[in-house]
């Protein structure tokens, strides 16, 4: 008995010291990560004020969308693009704050789990994409010449954005709504049985509803953006206005994708803590499968974003005559 008591008395302090060491290491990691992320973001905000960086990114955009960029449009397109970049940086910072609030690394037992981590990462990506879209919408409209080309037929969202991005937004929004309904049903039947992260059903329902409404409104948003014209002028200005509108709609589609992703993973993380004791094994298996699929889906979306050039969809469907490198027959504007 004495030996057992002595062993227990030594084990408790050792376990406590180990827990404190792990907690200190986690907090140190998050402090370093936060410092690097915020510092890099602030540096990039300063860099976007440099004309040379803006010109470089604008020419890169011209290659991405495969549209010829006349010299007299360079500064105007650069101004629009820098608004977008600043918006994406600020949105990413806001998303990172959301990540910290979700993971809560300052707690003794920080919220953990693959699902919760994916919710936090989705918040960062959502902030980045939605910030870019908002920045594009807030950028000041400019008149680049005294000539203004009239559009005979309105441009639709199908011409602005490739089907891939529209489908991703619609599917993610739909899955988010279905997952929220499932969580509402489970939370109405059971009370929380395990400590940890559990999403608030009303807040999640509001987010899912907003995501679905925006996804359904994309055609109208696209028409309004194209009609508002970021650059007012001749045919080239109109083509670039469409390209900027297409980029904004694409950012919105990706933002909706990450929003639906965050909602679905919030449900996956919450259901395990609401299920009764006898159902924990089945729920754990469902969570394992769901987490694996979620990780694969996130990796797939990131790879598709990195390796594709969806902005050329607009050039192919609306402005084939202005393809970069094609012979130009632009008349001099008198």
- DSSP assignments along 181-249, one per residue: HHHHHHHHH----SSS----HHHHHHHHHHHHHHHHHHHHHHHHHHHH-SEESSHHHHHHHHHHHHHHH
Range with the lowest mean pLDDT among 8-17, 132-141, 270-279? 8-17
Chain-centroid distance of CA 59 in Å reads 24
CB 128 within 8 A of CB 197: no
Q: What token pair was written down for 64? A: 């991405």
| Residue 218 forms part of a structural domain | yes
Statement: residue 8 has pLDDT above 80: no
Residue 13: predicted pLDDT: 54
DSSP tag of 328: -
| Residue 18 forms part of a structural domain | no
Range with the lowest mean pLDDT among 11-25, 278-292, 303-317? 11-25
Integer angstrom CA distances of residue 327 from 68, 75, 312: 10, 23, 18
Instruction: Note down the domain range covering 125.
Output: 48-322
A 10 A CB-CB count for 258 gives 26
Measuring CA to CA, which residue among 174, 159, 169, 235 is closest to residue 208? 174
| Residue 15 forms part of a structural domain | no
| Residue 177 forms part of a structural domain | yes
Statement: residue 329 has pLDDT above 60: no
Q: How far apart are CA 61 and CA 244, in angstroms?
A: 10
A 10 A CB-CB count for 226 gives 25
Once rounded to an integer, what is the mean pLDDT over residues 293-306? 85
Residue 20: predicted pLDDT: 54
Which pLDDT band, with edges at 50, 70 and 90, does 89 fall under? very high
Q: How far apart are CA 78 and CA 168, in angstroms?
A: 29
The total domain count for the chain is 1
| Residue 3 forms part of a structural domain | no
Statement: residue 325 has pLDDT above 70: no
Q: What token pair was written down for 215? A: 């996804």
Which pLDDT band, with edges at 50, 70 and 90, does 150 fall under? confident
DSSP tag of 331: P
Which pLDDT band, with edges at 50, 70 and 90, does 26 fall under? confident
Which pLDDT band, with edges at 50, 70 and 90, does 202 fall under? confident
Q: Whole-prediction pTM value? A: 0.81
Statement: residue 331 has pLDDT above 60: no
| Residue 43 forms part of a structural domain | no
- Give the burial class of 243: count Cβ atoms within 10 A of its Cβ; 0-12 exposed, 13-18 middle, 19 or more buried: buried
If you write DSSP's letter for every residue of 130-156 in order, what string do you get?
Answer: HHHHHHHHHSPPEE-SS--PPPSSPPP
Measuring CA to CA, which residue among 262, 261, 232, 256 is closest to residue 244? 232
| Residue 331 forms part of a structural domain | no
Q: How far apart are CA 80 and CA 61, in angstroms?
A: 11
Which pLDDT band, with edges at 50, 70 and 90, does 140 fall under? confident
Statement: residue 123 has pLDDT above 60: yes
| Residue 37 forms part of a structural domain | no
Statement: residue 42 has pLDDT above 90: yes
pLDDT winner (highest mean) among 82-96, 183-197, 235-249: 82-96
Statement: residue 111 has pLDDT above 60: no
């Amino acid at each position: 008995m004495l030996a057992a008591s002595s062993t227990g008395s030594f084990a408790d302090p050792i376990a406590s010291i180990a827990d404190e060491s792990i907690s200190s290491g986690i907090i140190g990691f998050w402090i370093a990560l936060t410092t690097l992320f915020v510092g890099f973001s602030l540096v990039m905000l300063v860099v976007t004020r440099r004309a040379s960086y803006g010109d470089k990114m604008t020419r890169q955009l011209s290659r991405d969308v495969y549209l010829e960029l006349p010299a007299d449009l360079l500064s105007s397109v650069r101004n629009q693009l820098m608004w977008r970049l600043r918006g994406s940086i600020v949105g990413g910072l806001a998303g990172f704050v959301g990540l910290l609030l979700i993971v809560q690394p300052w707690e003794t037992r920080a919220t953990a789990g693959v699902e919760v981590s994916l919710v936090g990462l989705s918040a960062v990506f959502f902030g980045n994409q939605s910030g870019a879209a908002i920045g594009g919408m807030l950028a000041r409209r400019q008149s680049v010449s005294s000539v203004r080309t009239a559009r005979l037929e309105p441009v639709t969202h199908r011409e602005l954005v490739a089907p891939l991005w529209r489908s991703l937004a619609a599917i993610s929004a739909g899955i988010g709504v279905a997952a929220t309904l499932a969580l509402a049903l489970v939370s109405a039947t059971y009370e929380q049985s395990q400590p940890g992260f559990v999403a608030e059903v009303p807040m999640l329902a509001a987010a899912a509803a907003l995501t679905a409404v925006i996804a359904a409104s994309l055609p109208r948003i696209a028409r309004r953006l194209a009609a508002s014209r970021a650059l007012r002028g001749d045919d080239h200005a109109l083509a670039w206005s469409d390209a900027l509108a297409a980029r904004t709609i694409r950012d919105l589609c990706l933002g909706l994708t990450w929003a639906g992703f965050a909602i679905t993973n919030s449900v996956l993380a919450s259901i395990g803590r609401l299920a009764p004791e006898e159902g924990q094994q089945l729920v754990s298996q469902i969570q394992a499968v769901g987490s694996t699929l979620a990780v694969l889906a996130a990796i797939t979306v990131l790879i598709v974003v990195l390796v594709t050039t969806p902005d050329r969809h607009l050039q192919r469907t609306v402005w084939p005559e202005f393809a970069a490198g094609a012979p130009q027959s632009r008349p001099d504007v008198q």
